[in-house]
Chains A and B, each alone.
Chain A
């Protein structure tokens, strides 16, 4: 081995400066711990409904083992368009306004790479899923966090948005229903945001991967439905959360033909096409999966009410999360910061939850607890938290 060659020095500076996910160490401890129970998982506990799996298997039996077109199977894109119109009253031309991707994450990456020039600023609502900032940086952009507040139920307010906008602002990332807080934005909330954006050139990346998991009488509303927002919004969604299909790795993006065309260019060079088996399964999901979504949503809703009531009863204030499958209780009354709370809880009670600051500075003082678990598991976890808090308060 040549001693002059230093692999470490070869790493791209953006990548080497990326936070090494300090939380990784904590994850590893949790993974190794025996009898550890967890509320730490960001994916459904349900298995993909059988009829969907069956169609994936059938596609293999039929020998559909080749690439699809870069944008994805036409049949699937037609079903995606039908679905958007059926559920959200949004029209997208299947051939020019959609691209099928490897999970929602790839769609986010494609969008940022397709639209950002060096130095462009991207506003990212936080707390939020961890991928936005690093992907903005890899695309040459500058991520600017907007810290949403607990007192606003972690919704983005027009004032917060207005204050963050500069002449360099190019994109707003709007991640609702939100991971990790469970916050949603109603039509009225979004109207305030749209009002700020209408006279700008700012685009919206609306990450709606949890759109099917809301627990209010009104369905999820996309900002793309609002006046003047359709053309500037790219919706990212996928099959992972709504149909319990995380492992299939399938998502999509919808938007203006020019933007989708640019995204598809990047996609064709980087990925070629999304997994074929998953695309066939997804057609079945969209055609015959509405009842599965309802059944899973109902189950999540039971668990949501148990876990939120449980945390509030323990004295860890938890605002009512109306979307996704997370609650975000405040742990400031413990006198600990999020990391210390989670590490101490893990060691003393063998319960894994995720520190809120893993999702941005404004998550400090909170923990993310997933309720994609059986009621039995949730109750056992609540018992452990209660015992933990009793010891702390003594």
Chain B
């Protein structure tokens, strides 16, 4: 899909999902109708899964929420492969992301909670006790600098001259 209209639309929406179809059409030299149709396709194909603001939650509510990164080691059984295990884990709303990993552990899981106790009890009650889980290692996030391509600090002001030739 490299450099097709679809890839351009994805690129633009990924940076700013509030941009209008009309605006996208102007940017890529297309029509509003064509952009709407392509976005509809991207949605129905499951390429675009949703639209959301990239929020710096620490700034919104102060340091009231805790994010943990959990390394999970499992022994997949014939009846319960990696996919089935992942499906069981991602049902919990506390789980923000889960990925199957290469290397020394199997799943990398991001969990959000309102305090450390909440997260520890989630792990001990729901994760560690799962049948195929053989071990967990939990890392708490101390400070977020950048996520999903966005730096958490406000961008520097434009330090160019007002006019230069």
Interface residue ranges, A against B (CB under 8 Å)? 26-27, 30-31, 36, 38, 40-43, 45, 129-130, 179, 298, 302-303, 305-306, 309-310, 352, 354, 358-359, 375, 379
Task: Indicate if the CB atoms of A27 and B162 lie closer than 8 Å.
Answer: yes
Task: Indicate if the CB atoms of B26 and A43 lie closer than 8 Å.
Answer: no
Residues of A close to B28: CB separation below 8 A: 302, 305
Contact A38 to B12, CB < 8 A, known contacts A305-B27, A305-B28: no
Task: Indicate if the CB atoms of A41 and B27 lie closer than 8 Å.
Answer: no
Question: How extensive is the interface on chain B, given as a class?
Answer: 10 to 19
Residues of B close to A305: CB separation below 8 A: 26-29
Q: How many A-B residue pairs have CB under 8 A?
A: 54
Residues of B close to A45: CB separation below 8 A: 158, 160
Chain A: minimal CB distance from B20 (Å): 11
- Residue of B27, B158, B165 touching A306 (CB-CB under 8 A): B27
In the assembled complex, the Cα of A211 lies from the Cα of B161 at a distance in Å of: 24
13 A-B residue contacts at CB 8 Å? A26-B163, A38-B163, A40-B164, A41-B162, A43-B160, A45-B160, A306-B26, A310-B26, A352-B163, A354-B165, A359-B165, A375-B23, A375-B27
Task: Indicate if the CB atoms of A306 and B162 lie closer than 8 Å.
Answer: no
Task: Indicate if the CB atoms of B165 and A130 lie closer than 8 Å.
Answer: yes
Residues of B close to A352: CB separation below 8 A: 162-163
In the assembled complex, the Cα of A303 lies from the Cα of B28 at a distance in Å of: 9
In the assembled complex, the Cα of A384 lies from the Cα of B158 at a distance in Å of: 20
A-B pairs with lowest CB-CB distance, top 6 = A40-B163, A302-B27, A30-B162, A42-B164, A27-B163, A31-B162
In the assembled complex, the Cα of A359 lies from the Cα of B165 at a distance in Å of: 9
Chain A: minimal CB distance from B109 (Å): 30
Chain B: minimal CB distance from A367 (Å): 12
Residues of A close to B11: CB separation below 8 A: 298
Task: Indicate if the CB atoms of B163 and A31 lie closer than 8 Å.
Answer: yes
Residues of B close to A298: CB separation below 8 A: 8, 11
- Residue of B23, B26, B160, B162 touching A36 (CB-CB under 8 A): B162
Chain A: minimal CB distance from B33 (Å): 16
Query: 8 Å CB contacts to A: which residues of B144-165?
Result: 158, 160-165
Task: Indicate if the CB atoms of B23 and A30 lie closer than 8 Å.
Answer: no
Task: Indicate if the CB atoms of B163 and A30 lie closer than 8 Å.
Answer: yes
Most A-side CB within 10 Å, residue of B11, B23, B26: B26
Closest residue of chain B to A353 (Cβ to Cβ) is B163
In the assembled complex, the Cα of A93 lies from the Cα of B37 at a distance in Å of: 52
0 or 1 for each of B9-29: is its CB under 8 Å from A? (1 = yes): 001100000010001001111
Chain A: minimal CB distance from B97 (Å): 26
Chain A: minimal CB distance from B158 (Å): 7
Residues of B close to A43: CB separation below 8 A: 160, 164
Most A-side CB within 10 Å, residue of B8, B11, B27, B160: B160
In the assembled complex, the Cα of A45 lies from the Cα of B165 at a distance in Å of: 14
Closest residue of chain A to B3 (Cβ to Cβ) is A298
Query: 8 Å CB contacts to A: which residues of B104-138?
Result: none
Task: Indicate if the CB atoms of B158 and A42 lie closer than 8 Å.
Answer: no
Task: Indicate if the CB atoms of B164 and A306 lie closer than 8 Å.
Answer: no
Most A-side CB within 10 Å, residue of B11, B161, B163, B165: B163
Chain B: minimal CB distance from A365 (Å): 18
Task: Indicate if the CB atoms of A129 and B158 lie closer than 8 Å.
Answer: no
Closest residue of chain B to A302 (Cβ to Cβ) is B27
13 A-B pairs besides A36-B162, A40-B164, A45-B160 with CB distance below 8 A are A27-B161, A27-B162, A31-B161, A31-B163, A40-B163, A130-B165, A298-B8, A305-B27, A306-B23, A309-B26, A354-B165, A375-B19, A379-B23
